Amino acid sequence: MQINYLAVLVSAILSMVLGAVWYGPLFGKKWMEIIGADANDKKKRSEMQKSAGPLYLLQFLLTLFQVLVLAHLIADTQTVSGLERSLWIWAAFIIPTIAAGAMWNNDPKNIQWARFLIQGGYQLVLFIIFGVVLNAW
């Protein structure tokens, strides 16, 4: 199986769209609470927005690399679908990393669980999208 670089690019773009929806209208208020940000602090919000451009670019490039590696892993495997490969990678590598980040801090348990569920859920949906798009193309 060959790598479809358009599928890699589309997957990376979809990750940014999903992130905007996931951390915006779906879970934005809870996420702001988790990270200790005040949505009503317009000065702080303006400062964050000014510095966000380079961070969005970096996140996009990192995701592009992530999807490219995943595409290679899917292409190298003839025995499982792209979706199945994506879910195994999510379960084995993404979830333990997110769990460690949520567990090993001084947040209260309810915040730790909220952080874990929001980030883990985002990554689950993201890897399903990656697997479906890469497998379809």
Q: Which two tokens stand for residue 124?
A: 């689950």
3-state secondary structure the chain: CCCCHHHHHHHHHHHHHHHHHHHHHHCHHHHHHHHCCCCCCHHHHHHHHHHHHHHHHHHHHHHHHHHHHHHHHHHCCCCCCHHHHHHHHHHHHHHHHHHHHHHCCCCCHHHHHHHHHHHHHHHHHHHHHHHHHHHHC
Quote the pLDDT of residue 28. Answer: 92
What are the distances in angstroms from CA 119 to CA 22, 69, 91, 100? 9, 21, 13, 12
Q: What is the mean pLDDT of residues 66-74?
A: 92
Quote the pLDDT of residue 79. Answer: 82
| 123 or 41, higher pLDDT | 123
Q: What is the mean pLDDT of residues 103-122?
A: 92
As a whole-number percent, the residues of the chain with pLDDT over 90 amount to 64
Quote the pLDDT of residue 17. Answer: 97
Quote the pLDDT of residue 125. Answer: 97
**pLDDT at residue 126 is higher than 70:** yes
What pTM was estimated for this model as a whole? 0.86
Quote the pLDDT of residue 64. Answer: 95
**pLDDT at residue 71 is higher than 80:** yes
**pLDDT at residue 39 is higher than 90:** no
82 in Cβ contact with 135 (< 8 Å): yes
